[in-house]
Amino acid sequence: MDESVDNGALPSRQRTYNEFHMENSRWDKLDPRDGDITICTPAKCGTTWMQMICALLVFQKPKIDGLLSDYSPWLDMLAAPIDDVVARLEAQTHQRFVKTHTPLDGLRYFEKSKYICVGRDPRDAFISLRHHMKNINPEFFAIMQENTTRKLERPERAPDDFCEGFRKWISSSCRTDEKHSVPDDVLYYLRSFWPYRHLPNILMVHYSDLLSDLNGEMRRIASFLGIEVPEELWPELVEAATFANMKNNADTLAPQSTRNEWKDTSNFFYSGTSGQWQEVLGEEELALYQKVMSEKLAPDLAHWMENGRLASEVDLGDI
């Protein structure tokens, strides 16, 4: 599949997303500022990790003063009234960094904003997603219903059998019907950004690259954002962004940690590794996975999605 576009083309919002937990129309309430950072990821692909990295680079200190989700809210999620979320963002005087799980075709695009898209091997993302869904407090659904006029429908329960769940999940990739949960669709989400990776205000970052060279990737992100960090600060900032440190500070770093979303906040940060899928997926699942990847994605995108930038020679158009 060809994900190329005319190099002169710019992204534009093409779709409306009304998911059971989010609405992309909430973005219309926020007036953009030059330099705004939008952290764009499919579910369980390093969102909170990138939020923490941005916080460390913006504030240039190893510990933030409050809740990460207060500094960097998930704007499209129905966790709080949109007017409250926007008011909090409008009051910020620092460079803003906001989280979204909306694909690029559902976002308003601004040439003076910065977009960081984080990808991950879909097989690992699925494992993390299964763990994540088990940790959600069912009572949180009522909070989301309070923040929309739509009647929310709970998502279909995933099969108890792990491999059956994976086959169903990967087979549904890149569907466009209204009931399909696109934020969980790693292939569709990353495919929406891939044709625009050459743009100077879009940066593609891979979960595996953060694992293998956190220092190098943080410096790359800082360069993209135009943030200068004194050399003597780098060691403590990088240490603060490690998975172990984030798990130890889950009460302040996990999203919606004070809104009763999680059964166990510390379990929001699962394992922080890659390759977990090798222990659980069988030949049938992997054959189906390869078939879907080859049918739905261009080879360079599929290669980057599985291996990242450091382990591949895929052109990301980096500045």
Q: Which residues are catalytic?
A: 101
Report how far Cα 23 is from the mean position of its chain's Cα atoms.
16
Query: Side by side, which strands form the sheet with 37-40?
Result: 97-100, 37-40, 114-119, 202-206
CA 318 to chain CA centroid, Å, is 19
DSSP-derived 3-state class of residue 158: coil
Q: Which residues contact 65 (CB under 8 A, 6 or more apart)?
A: none
Are the CB atoms for 122 and 290 separated by under 8 Å?
no
User: Residue 206 phi/psi, 5° resolution?
Assistant: -115, 140
CA angle 90, 234, 240 (to 5 degrees): 65
C-beta separation of 78 from 23 below 8 A: yes
The two beta strands, 97-100 and 114-119, are unpaired
Output DSSP code: residue 22: B
Give me 20's structure tokens. 């059971």
Distance of CA 152 to the CA centre of its chain: 23
Closest-CA residue to 175 (of 159, 188, 164, 184): 188
Distance CA 176, CA 180 (A): 7
Run of H or E residues at 119: strand 114-119
Q: Give the angle 44-48-52 at the CA atoms, nearest 5°.
A: 155
Q: Tell me if residue 127 falls in helix, strand or coil.
A: helix
